[in-house]
Structure 1
Amino acid sequence: MRMYVKVMAAVIACILLSGEALSAFATTPATENLSWFKKKKKKPEEKEEKSKSDYEKLVEDSKTTKGMFAVHQKKNDYYFEIPTSLLGRDLLVVNKLQRVPAELNDAGVNRGVNYENQMVCMEW
């Protein structure tokens, strides 16, 4: 009977000890144990091109003429890029005739004559 008690005590001790070992194994995530066999996830590649601003989208396909201020033509639309130094200043717009038909030239209208002047002020 003593031998039976000793064997039973040894079996119970083994079960308890193995239960603690199994519970320690169970608490560690399975991914740590299988990390050798897992494929590594690729990090998403960073985009080299940053998203374009509204200005860059407007200017990229337009025809640009530079002068006192830049004029961007996109299809039938015209966009004026006016520097801040010109804002609030009075600008005189002078229109002159470039060509005159022969019929009007006999009437005394010469090319190069001012036919309309306007004062313009650009404001923010």
Structure 2
Amino acid sequence: MRRDVFQAIADPTRREILGMIAHKSLNINSVTEQFDVSRAAIYKHMKILTECGLLEIKQQGRERFCEGKLERLNEVSDWVAQYREFWETRLDSLESYLKTLQAKNQDQGKTKL
């Protein structure tokens, strides 16, 4: 089953695993030792990350290393960007409106003096 990137980042444990492997490959034991849950639970999280295309496990000699493939996180960034643009436009309009109101209030204050 192919999962999407949003499923990967939905869980805090998976986000933490991604953070750990973002800058360097780690062997599986190094990753599992960082959590207070069973190895099986961490393996399940790693499987989901692999299915999402964010993690690749490579065999090096007798050890297996987790390597991040974080390019797919651009999908999340692109999705968030559309909403950022929407809200920035709305907030810019609100700022403009508030400045107009403030200018009117200042003008009314001057005419009363």
Asked whether the two chains share a fold, i.e. TM above 0.5, the reply is: no
TM-score by length of 1: 0.25
In proportion to residue count, which structure has more strand? 1
Indicate the structure (1 or 2) with the bigger Cα radius of gyration: 1
In proportion to residue count, which structure has more helix? 2
Larger RCO, structure (CA 8 Å, separation 6 or more): 2
